[in-house]
Amino acid sequence: MLKEEYLQQLLKDLYEKDTLDIYDYTAGLLTISSNEFKHTKSWSDQLIKDKLAKYTDETHTALEITNFGKYWFLKGGYDIFLKDCHISKDRLREKDILKEKEELLEARLRLTHYRLMGFWLTIVLSSLGFILSLYNLFLIMSGKK
């Protein structure tokens, strides 16, 4: 059984029964020695992460469906949630993050350019001041002789 199929079935049963123990539920659905049974906890954590369900006990084994989960179940289930909501929000966030990173990079480059220009300007002004000091010293020395 694939992750999406399992989460679709789990969301359906959560909607019908309101609360489920994930290990008891999965033991009735799959064999305990199967590879999918090992992923039960991480797969149910995905529902929690997507805010379609919440844990009702301290050991984090009993799930309860949230109103958001009920909405998406009535709209078509976990597959529709993935198609409509989950993927598009992640892509928009990634685009926003990339745009912010590009803007920050531009600002850093611009500020670095200004710092370098300021550095060279101070070097030129300091050198000019030193040359004028030497010229002034030359004039003083040549006038006293």
Q: How many Cβ atoms are within 10 Å of 120's Cβ, its own excluded?
A: 10
Predicted local distance difference test score (pLDDT) of residue 31? 59
Proportion of the chain above pLDDT 90, given as a percent: 28
68-79 core/surface letters (b: 16 or more CB in 10 A; e: else):
ebeebbeeebbe
Domains of the chain, start order: 3-76 (1.10.10)
pLDDT digits (tens, 9 = 90+) for 91-134: 667 777 888 889 999 999 999 999 999 999 999 999 999 999 99
Supply the pTM of this predicted model.
0.55
- Contact yes or no for 78/71 (Cβ under 8 A): no
